[in-house]
Structure 1
Amino acid sequence: MTTALDRARARLDTPPTTPIPGQLDLKEHTVTDLRLIITPPEPGDWHGRLDVLEALEAAGWVGDVDMPLSIVRHPSGAVWSVANESDDSGLDCPNGAVIEFPGDTPSLVIIAACLAATHPTP
């Protein structure tokens, strides 16, 4: 059986050579390389946000004791959870910010936001 993580392989492209104002200058900071490719499910298949869950678990997040398929926690204090059957989800960041993702938000956007929340810029 192929897991969502097996289907997940994306390449994050090299950032622009001139940083955008407010953007982290990667030349001055070490960044861990992350490669994910998120393959959409076949028509008729429904995986919920399993692809997000598995990608986050691979990045060190841990499933909640009571709801391991709906809530994952990061040691930094970040928590991501699925809110309903429409795939709406939310991220509670360690700094207190709360981000809500509508059900049509691409998985890659959610994964990137969750990973960014656990690696604050200096």
Structure 2
Amino acid sequence: GGWRWTNVRATPILSPDGSIRKWLGINIDIQDKKEAEAALEQAQQTYQQGLEQQVAERTQQLEESRALLKATLDSTLEMIQVFKAVRNQAGEIVDFVWILNNQSSEQQYGDVIGQSLLTLNPGVKE
């Protein structure tokens, strides 16, 4: 013996006067379904926890790589600037946006990451 999950459905069979004469019903054992649902939920939680751990580890690796790159770039006295091309609908390059600067470049230009090259240096057009 023990407890089991069941799904019970019943409908009253009425007498001509409206009173309940008997019940007609069905009892379905849904224990296997409930156990499968619980196992699936546990598997999803385990997967989610594993995925979150992988994301945290990868984020840490990326942060370490970024710090190493910054330290390497900042170790030179030369200005290092990295830009992303901005294109119009025809695919032509119409501007550039700063995406990375080393320390020497920041001393010259300040914090310009994400800003337009032509906006800050309009004479660079041609």
Q: TM-score, normalised by structure 2?
A: 0.23
Relative to total residues, which structure has the larger strand share, 1 or 2?
A: 2
Q: Which has the higher contact order (CA 8 A, sep 6+)?
A: 1
Larger Rg computed on CA atoms: 2
